[in-house]
C-alpha cells in the first residue's frame, strides 16, 4: 500500500482514539472503552461539570496521570516523520486529548477536542499548561479565583477548537486521510465530505469500517502501527 505523493500538494490527516490504542490508551466505543465504563452525561458535558465538578475532575485527572505510563507508537512517529520530509502543506487534526502526537514530534497539529495537559479558567479564560491534578480548590494563576479552573477539553455541546483553520485546510487539500476514528462524532465525522467537495482523494485507515466508510475513495483495515508507517512513506 505505498501511496504516490508526487502529485499531492496539500494533506489533511484526521486521527482518533484508534491511533493511540496500541500505546495503551482506551478508545471510547470499542468493547470496554471509556464510554462503556463512564456515562458521557456524567463526565463530558458542561452540565456534568456544573452539577458534579469533583466527578469530572476525577475522570480527567485519571486520564492525565495515565499519560505518564504511555509513549508514542510507530503510527504517531510515522506521521511526524512524514510531515518533516513532505514538501507540501500538511495539517494533522486530532480528536485525541493525549499528547502522543506532540511527543512524536508533529508540528502542524490541532487538538480539536482540547488537551489533557491544559487547564482553562472559566472566568478570565487563561489557558495554562498542567501536569498535575485539577480540583475545585485549584486557583487561577491570573485572576486568583478558586473553583473556576476546568480541563481544557471540548465537551459535548461545545464547539471544537480551530474550526476555521481546519475548514480552510479541508477546502484546499487534495488528500484527506482518516485514521483510527469511528466517525460517530461531528463535526470531525463530516470532514471527509468537506474534503471530497474540494476534490480531494479520501482514504480511511482503521481497524474496522467507520460510519462513513462506504463513502471514502479507498479504505485499508488493520492496526494503525502497521497501516500508517506503510502508507506514509516518501521515496
Binding site for ligand OAD (CB under 6 A): 16-18, 21-22, 27-30, 33, 44, 95, 113, 154, 156, 180-182, 184-185, 206-208, 210, 223-224
Residue 145 vs 167, nearer CB to ligand OAD: 167
Q: What's the rounded Cα separation, in Å, for the pair 69 and 83?
A: 26
Phi-psi region of 54 (alpha: psi -120 to 50; beta: other; left: phi over 0): alpha
Residue 95 vs 138, nearer CB to ligand OAD: 95
Residue 162 vs 174, nearer CB to ligand OAD: 162
Residue 101 designated active-site = no
Do residues 49 and 156 touch, judged by C-beta distance below 8 A? no
- Cβ at position 207, least distance to ligand OAD in Å: 3
What does 121-185 look like in DSSP terms, one character per residue? ETTT--EEE--S---TT-B-TTT--BS-EEEEEPPTTSPPTTHHHHHHHHHH-SEEEEES--S-S
- Cβ at position 143, least distance to ligand OAD in Å: 26
Residue 137, judged by CB atoms within 10 A of its CB (0-12, 13-18, 19+), counts as: exposed
Taking every pair of Cα atoms in the chain, the longest distance, rounded to a whole number of angstroms, is 54
Catalytic, out of 57, 101, 111, 113: 113
Residue 16 vs 72, nearer CB to ligand OAD: 16
Q: What's the rounded Cα separation, in Å, for the pair 2 and 163?
A: 31
Record the cell numbers describing residue 11, joined without a space: 494533506
Residue 33 vs 46, nearer CB to ligand OAD: 33
Do residues 101 and 70 touch, judged by C-beta distance below 8 A? no
Of 100, 97, 99, residue with least CA distance to 150: 97
- Cβ at position 7, least distance to ligand OAD in Å: 27
- Cβ at position 14, least distance to ligand OAD in Å: 9
Measured over the CA atoms of residue 154, residue 133, residue 103 and residue 22, the dihedral's sign is negative
The residue with its CB nearest to ligand OAD is 18
- Cβ at position 85, least distance to ligand OAD in Å: 23
Residues forming the active site: 113
Amino acid at each position: 500500500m505505498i501511496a504516490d505523493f508526487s502529485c499531492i500538494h496539500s494533506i489533511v490527516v484526521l486521527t482518533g482514539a484508534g491511533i493511540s490504542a496500541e500505546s495503551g490508551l482506551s478508545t471510547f466505543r470499542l468493547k470496554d472503552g471509556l464510554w462503556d465504563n463512564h456515562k458521557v452525561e456524567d463526565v463530558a458535558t458542561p452540565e456534568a461539570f456544573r452539577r458534579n465538578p469533583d466527578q469530572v475532575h476525577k475522570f480527567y485527572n485519571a486520564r492525565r496521570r495515565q499519560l505518564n505510563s504511555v509513549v508514542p507508537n510507530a503510527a504517531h512517529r510515522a506521521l511526524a516523520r512524514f510531515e518533516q520530509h513532505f514538501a507540501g502543506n500538511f495539517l494533522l487534526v486530532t480528536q485525541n486529548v493525549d499528547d502522543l502526537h506532540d511527543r512524536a514530534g508533529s508540528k502542524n497539529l490541532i487538538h480539536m477536542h482540547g488537551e489533557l495537559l491544559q487547564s482553562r479558567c472559566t472566568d478570565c479564560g487563561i489557558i495554562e499548561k498542567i501536569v498535575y491534578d485539577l480540583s475545585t480548590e485549584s486557583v487561577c494563576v491570573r485572576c486568583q479565583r478558586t473553583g473556576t479552573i476546568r480541563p481544557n477539553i471540548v465537551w459535548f455541546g461545545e464547539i471544537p477548537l480551530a474550526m476555521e483553520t481546519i475548514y480552510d485546510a479541508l477546502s484546499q487539500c487534495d488528500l484527506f486521510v482518516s485514521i483510527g476514528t469511528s466517525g460517530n462524532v461531528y463535526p470531525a465525522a463530516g470532514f471527509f465530505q468537506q474534503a471530497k467537495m474540494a476534490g480531494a482523494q479520501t482514504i480511511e485507515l482503521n481497524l474496522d469500517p467507520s460510519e462513513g466508510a462506504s463513502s471514502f475513495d479507498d479504505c485499508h483495515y488493520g492496526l494503525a502501527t502497521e497501516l500508517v508507517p506503510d502508507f506514509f512513506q516518501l521515496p
